[in-house]
A and B are shown apart, each in its own frame.
Chain A
Amino acid sequence: MTPKKTTKGMVAGNVIMWVVALLFLFPAVWIVLCSFKPGNELFSIPPTLFPKNPSFSSYLTTWQQNNFLHYFVNSMIVAVASTLITLLINTMAGFAFAKYRFKGRDFIFMALLTTMMLPTEVIMRPTFTVVSALGLYNTLWGVIIPPIATPTGIFLMRQYFMGVPDSLLESARIDGAGEVRIFATMMVPLAKPVISTLTILSFMWRWNDYVWPMLVISDQSKYTMQLAIANLVGELSIDWNTLLCASVISMVPMLIVFALFQKQIIASVMTSGLKEG
């Protein structure tokens, strides 16, 4: 009786998961399918799931005529550079907060945590003044630098490194490993799952960021994807075809980053056995 029950439960569970997954997936799939519809099919009643006369022409105009290749490259530069620097700084800071004892450590950490309680919008104006004074206004650096030392990332890293046993570090030190080596060859590989998480989060934040680039960038040639997409929605008219194509294009890098790093998270969940007894 018992195994049968479990199977039934599993089936039910699976069905629910499929339904929920499809519900979440539907809007994304709908956007992708619609992006292949010519303008006259977009509003046809009754709506059709698949395009009757699929066309790639909107993608071509989006890519070429509307200069989206250029904006895509700008977004890539911002998201990749910002994510790499974020990872570097946050892993090092998180490690230091977790494993070194120094004067004022807890105070600095508390101060950092406090900044998490301030919404980004509140500090935008002062941040803008700083960026402007540093001569970073209207440069991609001005978009990349301000958000790199995110307290959320440092907090994530610190919490993770707290879980790494001190004895591991001590034995490495006894074996003669320097601090840099310990960090680079032991700590970073150990932190793979949390690094993957932060990579996904950071890339997503920077890729989807709209308000900050809007404030800092004023040359159209330095616009990111999100700024360019926002301009497709006019007060009086919306270019639906281009909007749909641009949205699909802007989804692709996120999917790739997620696919790459999600595996890391799952893999390390399955292999993590390192806990101090």
Chain B
Amino acid sequence: MKKRLLAALLAAAMAASLTACGGSSDSNASDSEGFKILISDDTSEGGAMADAAKRYTEETGIPVEIVEVPKDDRDTKLANMIQGKDAPALIRTDIYGAYEDQLMDLSDVISIDEFPESLHEKIQNDNGELIALPIDVTVTGMIYNKTAFDEAGVAVPQSEDDIWTWDEFTEAVKKVVANSNCQYGLAFDKTQRRYQVLMYQFGASVVNNDGTAVVANSPESVQALEYFIKLHDDGVMPKSVFLGTEDPSALFKSGQLATAIQGSWKISDYSENITDFEWGVTYMPIGTQRANRLGGNFFCAIKDSGKEEQAKEFLKWFYDYDNFKTYCEKGNYMSGLNNVTPDYSVHPEMYQIFEQELAASGDAGAGDNAWDYADVVGNLLLDDVCAALNGDMTAQEAMDSFAQEVSNEMGIPLAS
């Protein structure tokens, strides 16, 4: 009896293994004319790239395989794919500085003039090769709880002519918090990119516009940080976000926030998941200037992937007007191509305000943007901002320390 059990166990193990084997031997894209695209955050943003790959395969018969891993694991995955002789032909990424040397020149795929000029410096390497092609651009804007503003009888700016100053904004949201169910006036995600929006609006930046000196401890920068701390001390912003792990999106969805400075990517999420109150998009406050922190994704092609030509063919197809527009609309992305304006399926009027924010962003932070410094510098900024917020350092000390760290990390001198 027991012997039979053991035999059965063995047989089952073999059967399971055979199934596993059989299931794994087919459709290996790297053996055929197909190729792979390494990507992050496609599923969570609506699967627009998976959809584009499917359309490409339907039209050309060439299989495209999307390899999706979380962003934090992307570099590890890339290294392992290369080691396993399975390099992806293309990567969709937001940062590519770390493997700039492994990227192909794509200037014969598309002209650089098709992309916004503000990105030109960033997408070329020192030899003038076009190593990254912008896909979508991200900017931040101000999303607000319309129901709460109406309850409190506070109006939001209706056009670019009557934008709040930061002080006016603070007064307005304080009134909203006092006269509605909102607990806080403002929150934004705990990332360096969001903090940099505030920095730029106050006329500060990490490096100067031509990238020759670190200016992170300028008086403007210190002033921005002091203002940021004051917003927290006055209870306008919840400390639990930057000093804890509170999620601003959750706060906004639950109706506890009057405003949130967030990206256009939030619109589809909020449209689907907020039904208890009305919300809208308005203009971010102005400091010494209007400013934004540009972000977005890029296509990079790997040298020596063995699939270079396939990659280029795909990119030519992808940047075709109609195909590109469909991609943007599927993921509700703002276009990184100059002449493409997607027809957004939800709240096009809100996207319009984000487009205005993009147009108004000017060249504030141009030096930071071109540098595209690694996450490590961004983490240093967050650490120092949080230390100042926590009272461990003064704003001046925090920015001095940050400027010195950036200077060491990047090998750029401090501004004298």
Contacts and interface: CB of A to CB of B under 8 A. Distances in A.
Interface of A: 39-40, 42-45, 66, 74, 77-78, 80-81, 84-85, 87-88, 128-129, 132, 137-141, 144, 181, 184-185, 188-189, 214-216, 218-222, 227, 230-240
23 contacts: A39-B273, A40-B253, A40-B274, A42-B273, A78-B20, A80-B12, A81-B17, A84-B12, A128-B83, A128-B84, A132-B84, A137-B85, A138-B84, A140-B23, A141-B21, A184-B2, A184-B3, A185-B1, A219-B29, A230-B73, A234-B71, A237-B41, A239-B43
B276 A231 contact: no
Nearest to A142: B24
Contacts of B138: 236
- Point out which of B17, B25, B28 has the most chain A C-beta atoms below 10 A from its C-beta: B17
A238 B25 CA distance: 33
Contacts of A222: 23-24
B68 A220 contact: yes
A232 B43 contact: yes
B86 interface: yes
Contacts of A232: 43-44
Across the A-B interface, the 3 shortest Cβ-Cβ residue pairs: A234-B44, A39-B273, A84-B13
A237 B9 contact: no
- Point out which of A43, A78, A85, A128 has the most chain B C-beta atoms below 10 A from its C-beta: A43
A141 B86 CA distance: 17
Contacts of A66: 43
A230 B3 CA distance: 42
B16 interface: yes
B20 A141 contact: yes
Contact of A139 (B2, B24, B254): B24
B338 to A, nearest CB: 24
Contact of A40 (B10, B66, B276): B276
A218 B44 contact: no
B76 interface: yes
Contacts of B28: 138, 219
Contacts of B285: none
Interface in B199-241: none
A188 B275 contact: no
Interface residues of B, number: 59
B347 interface: no
Contacts of A74: 23
B289 to A, nearest CB: 26
B80 A45 contact: no
Contacts of B29: 219
A81 to B, nearest CB: 4
Contacts of B249: 237-238
A239 B42 CA distance: 11
B16 A84 contact: yes
Nearest to A189: B2
B276 A44 contact: yes
Contacts of A236: 41, 44-45, 138, 263, 265-266
Interface string B68-110: 1111010011001101111000000000000000000000000
Given A43-B253, A77-B19, A141-B21, A231 B70 contact: yes
Contacts of A189: 2
A40 B271 CA distance: 10
B20 A81 contact: yes
Nearest to A139: B24
B67 to A, nearest CB: 5
Nearest to A74: B23
A238 B273 contact: no
B65 interface: yes
B77 A77 contact: no
Contacts of A88: 9-10, 13
B403 to A, nearest CB: 27
Nearest to B38: A218
Contacts of A140: 20-21, 23-24
B255 interface: yes
B359 interface: no
B74 to A, nearest CB: 10
B256 A45 contact: yes
A184 B86 CA distance: 43
Given A88-B13, A215-B77, A239-B43, A137 B84 contact: yes
B254 A45 contact: yes
A185 B9 CA distance: 14
Contacts of B20: 77-78, 81, 139-141, 144
A209 to B, nearest CB: 14
Given A138-B86, A232-B43, A234-B45, A215 B275 contact: no
A244 B249 CA distance: 17
B267 to A, nearest CB: 10
B298 to A, nearest CB: 15
B113 interface: no
Nearest to B79: A215
B65 to A, nearest CB: 6
Given A74-B23, A139-B21, 16 more contacts: A45-B254, A78-B20, A140-B24, A144-B17, A185-B2, A214-B76, A215-B80, A219-B27, A219-B28, A220-B67, A221-B27, A230-B70, A233-B70, A235-B40, A236-B265, A237-B266
Contacts of A138: 24, 28, 84, 86
A179 to B, nearest CB: 13
